[in-house]
Amino acid sequence: MKQLVVYILKCSDGSFYVGITNNIERRIHEHATGVYPNAYTFNKRPLMLAWSKTFDSYYEANKWENKLKGWTRKKKEALIEGNLDLLKTLSECQNETHCKNYAERLKPMGIISQQETTINNSIFSSSTS
């Protein structure tokens, strides 16, 4: 089986493009020369390869490509920079119903005590370390 590469290009306008290919050199050349006029990168040249990862499995490569396409700009930047601590922080759920935030919402309503909030937060902190 051919290896697949998931990659992130940084475009001239500062945006990122995430793609997948079985031949990174060919694909970068296609992006750089504007082979496909309707492609996202066509009017965003020059481009720079910012990050890439090789996979032996199509399933894993496709999973990573889709995951990266859903990431925020800050998460992509953290990955490109190799800042795994920031990436971990940015990956934490921030929804109101997340356990870390949920206890804080319940406390003013008298549904949960300060002691229970402290216990909940310490459990959450130790589970993400």
The domain tally of the chain equals 2
Q: Are residues 9 and 63 in the same domain?
A: yes
* pLDDT > 70? residue 126: no
Q: Which residue has the higher pLDDT, 37 or 105?
A: 37
Q: Are residues 67 and 103 in the same domain?
A: no
The band of 8, judged by pLDDT with boundaries at 50, 70 and 90, is very high
With contact defined as beta carbons under 8 Å apart, do 9 and 48 qualify?
yes
Residue 83: inside a domain: no
Span 64-82, pLDDT tens digits: 999 999 999 999 999 999 9
Measured CA to CA, the distance from residue 32 to residue 113 in angstroms comes to: 59
Q: Which CATH number characterizes residue 24's domain?
A: 3.40.1440.10
* pLDDT > 70? residue 96: no
Residue 11: inside a domain: yes
* pLDDT > 90? residue 127: no
- Quote the domain boundaries for residue 122: 99-128
Residue 81: inside a domain: no
Which of 50, 95, 59 minimizes the C-alpha distance to 77?
50
pTM for the model: 0.74
Q: Are residues 48 and 107 in the same domain?
A: no
Q: Are residues 11 and 67 in the same domain?
A: yes
Residue with tokens 């909940």, as numbered in its chain: 120
Residue 44: inside a domain: yes
pLDDT of 47: 97
Span 13-69, pLDDT tens digits: 999 999 999 999 999 999 999 999 999 999 999 999 999 999 999 999 999 999 999
pLDDT of 21: 98
What is the pLDDT averaged over residues 108-113? 58
